[in-house]
Structure 1
Amino acid sequence: MSATAGHAESNPATRLGLQPGQVVQELGYDDDCDQDLRESIEELTGAELADEDYDDVPDAVLLWFREDDGDLTDALVDATSVVENGAPILLLTPKTGRAGYVEPSDIGEAATTAGLAQTSSFNAAKDWSGSRLVTPKAARTGKR
């Protein structure tokens, strides 16, 4: 099955800014994660999502996070430690009214504390909202 330009545009993963050939490491996976979105990422990139044990440097991190998952700042700092400067952290949180919902102000505060800038927000899936976060390229000199 070949991917046409029209099909690529309808792939939900295109909203995440991912490209074919990229390695995406998935953190925070659980049974409530959106399987269609996960499959669309794999279809777009041409590779399976790397799990938490991946020991190379991914091109992006897909972080599923719910209110009860612990400290969001810590999760974001952990995510930034595995990617190169400037690589995106794609934070997915349950939408308003869903179990595990995270307030946008909490996301903003945690991102700032973790040294990340939010570049966009998007509708990731039926039950998930997304935030594209990046480490400013000049901010973390000396890392990797």
Structure 2
Amino acid sequence: MSATAGQAQSERSLAERLGFKPDQVVQEIGWDDDVDEDLRDAIEAVTGKELVDEDYEDVVDVVLLWWREEDGDLFDELTNAIVPLADGGHIWLLTPKAGRDGHVEPSDIGDAATSAGLTQTKSISAAKEWSGTRLVSPKVHK
């Protein structure tokens, strides 16, 4: 296996470790030139679909939210990110790792998520420069 093929498999497995599956619709919010392009490519490889942008007006399975300390009010952004989620959908909140510009304190993430009605289910090193926090809406029993 070539180094490139091995790297592609490694990236793909990261997207799979994050729980991405074929045919999922993934909405990306907060893209900027600092995001991890390898992770984006891996998600598209696993889902078989291009990421949709903030203007997408249909239901999505996952919201991929790139967030930095200076981006504004995390609570507001999480509240907006919940709107297009399908039942059982979730948000991957990606923030710069500790010591990097734009790092967001875990307590700030927890406070904003709780206030937005979300539960944190997993934290992971999502990419070289980014940490990932998986957020879900609590199940509603009808």
CA distance in 1, matches of 2:59, 2:12: 28
Q: Is the 8 A contact 1:65 1:93 kept in 2?
A: yes
Write out aligned runs for 1:13-52 (5 A): 13-52=15-54
| 5+ residue gaps, structure 1 | 1-6
Residue 87 of structure 2 aligns to a residue whose secondary structure is coil
Q: Which amino acid is 1:28 matched to?
A: G
Q: Is the 8 A contact 2:12 2:42 kept in 1?
A: no
Write out aligned runs for 1:1-144 (5 A): 7=9, 11-138=13-140
Residue 26 of structure 1 aligns to a residue whose secondary structure is strand
* CA drift at 1:16: 1.4
* CA drift at 1:8: 7.6
* CA drift at 1:12: 1.5
Q: Is the 8 A contact 1:63 1:92 kept in 2?
A: yes
- Structure 1 consecutive aligned stretches of length 4 or more whose deviation exceeds 6 Å: none
Q: Is the 8 A contact 2:63 2:92 kept in 1?
A: yes
Flag the 1:8–1:31 CA change in 2: closer, same or farther, 3 A: closer
TM-score (norm 2): 0.89
Q: Is the 8 A contact 2:26 2:64 kept in 1?
A: yes
- Please list the CA deviations of residues 104-144 of structure 1 after superposition, one character each: whole Å capped at 9, or x if unmatched: 000000000000000000010000000000011218x8xxx
State the superposition RMSD in angstroms: 1.8
Residue 104 of structure 2 aligns to a residue whose secondary structure is coil
CA distance in 2, matches of 1:77, 1:17: 22
Q: Is the 8 A contact 2:66 2:95 kept in 1?
A: yes
Residue 32 of structure 1 aligns to a residue whose secondary structure is coil
- How many equivalent pairs are there? 135
Residue 88 of structure 2 aligns to a residue whose secondary structure is coil
Q: Which amino acid is 1:58 matched to?
A: V
Flag the 1:84–1:136 CA change in 2: closer, same or farther, 3 A: same
| 5+ residue gaps, structure 2 | 1-8
Q: Which amino acid is 1:136 matched to?
A: P
